[in-house]
Amino acid sequence: MNEETSEFAFELGVCHWAERNWPPAPTASDDAAALVARQLGTRGRRWDTIVLECDADALQRRANFGPKRLESDLLHVVRHAPEDWAYYRDCLPHPGYPWRYVREAIHQADDRGILETQRNGNRIEIRRKWVYPDWVERIVAVENKPDLDASAARVLGSQLEYDVAMALADEVWVGTHKTGERVEPALLEGLPVEAGILTLEEASSDAEVAWHPRTLAVDEPGTRILERPDGGRRDGSAARFEYVSPEEKAAKRLEIAERAYERGWRSFADTMRPDCRYFELRTRDGIGLRPHCTAKGGCQTATECSGRCPEFEPEPPTWRTNGWPIDGGPGARCRQVLEDRRRRRRPGLEP
């Protein structure tokens, strides 16, 4: 298994563990639910794994708005739509961009069935169907590095410093292989003390907390590190920063949460070729489903598993007839299995 493949397999292991076991320490609230997604973040920073700690009841009400994400323009409309009919420019706060984009978002929301609209002469009036719930309680970001040697730790260290200064997530963690040594090597690598360390046992996919994280100040202004000295001994240049307001952070957090709601972590198959005859979904010791390529003899990454793969062969047409439980053969069946599991984590969505 090459490095990229083993990191991908490890990342799926962390996602699956988090889905079953989050939060790692007991909390005061019984009424919590965790949603897990992967490879999400902002333009400047993408996290490997994201865990959303949600209010279970509010998560159920989020389902009213459907399985697809609400982009920022749609969120602006549905979050401020009034209970009774009103002209949209009277009831929505100025968005900070031209109103014609708001009209476009209103039509989109209407088409998706998440907003009521009517014409009153030339005017478009709107009315909400449901209150958009406050469903996200905390956002936890995990950076995965199964083999955390000193050079990987240096790169990871500056990424985590960025996360800590920005405080967009409530907690940041490093996920790494459990070595079983008396002191886990990750603890010796000089990572920021605010970051938690989670060690995952490869064989059983059980994880342990080696270091608890600090809760970051998501409601306070964040500091975005734009540039930093390269660290050479003669480098006396100053780092460059900019401040990010709590409002901007709150909007970004909700956008990330919406994308996580849509994608989950099983979306890997969306960019792979389950219609290849060598594609399978396998469990390891009954733990989670992960892609497996019978031609390569192991877990493949999305980069490998594409139409450009030299070993790609479409599943034979005969596999698509007679005997497959749904139309489309095993490739379509794989997608359906993953989609069913994704939906199971989002209560209230129609099957």
Contacts with ligand SF4 by CB under 6 A lie at: 273, 276, 278-279, 293, 295-296, 300, 304-305, 309, 311-312
**Which residue has tokens 């994400």?**
69
Residue 339 CA to residue 351 CA, distance in Å, equals 10
* Tokens read off for 199: 């060690």
Cis omega (within 30 of 0) on the bond before 23?
A: yes
User: Nearest approach, Cβ of 299 to ligand SF4 (angstroms)?
Assistant: 10
**Closer by beta carbon to ligand SF4, 75 or else 269:** 269
**Closer by beta carbon to ligand SF4, 169 or else 276:** 276
**Closer by beta carbon to ligand SF4, 191 or else 276:** 276
Q: Smallest Cα–Cα separation from 120: which of 85, 148, 89?
A: 85
In a 3-state reduction of DSSP, which class is residue 178? coil
- Tell which phi-psi region holds residue 143, choosing left (phi > 0), alpha (psi between -120 and 50) or beta: beta
CB-based burial label for 61 (10 Å; 0-12, 13-18, 19+)? middle
Residue 242 CA to residue 209 CA, distance in Å, equals 33
**Closer by beta carbon to ligand SF4, 166 or else 305:** 305
* Tokens read off for 323: 């005997």
User: Nearest approach, Cβ of 328 to ligand SF4 (angstroms)?
Assistant: 16
Residue 319 CA to residue 102 CA, distance in Å, equals 48
User: Nearest approach, Cβ of 52 to ligand SF4 (angstroms)?
Assistant: 30
User: Nearest approach, Cβ of 272 to ligand SF4 (angstroms)?
Assistant: 6
**Closer by beta carbon to ligand SF4, 169 or else 309:** 309
User: Nearest approach, Cβ of 108 to ligand SF4 (angstroms)?
Assistant: 35
* Tokens read off for 307: 């139409």
User: Nearest approach, Cβ of 263 to ligand SF4 (angstroms)?
Assistant: 20
**Closer by beta carbon to ligand SF4, 143 or else 304:** 304
User: Nearest approach, Cβ of 175 to ligand SF4 (angstroms)?
Assistant: 25
**Closer by beta carbon to ligand SF4, 297 or else 348:** 297
Q: Smallest Cα–Cα separation from 144: which of 97, 176, 187, 103?
A: 176
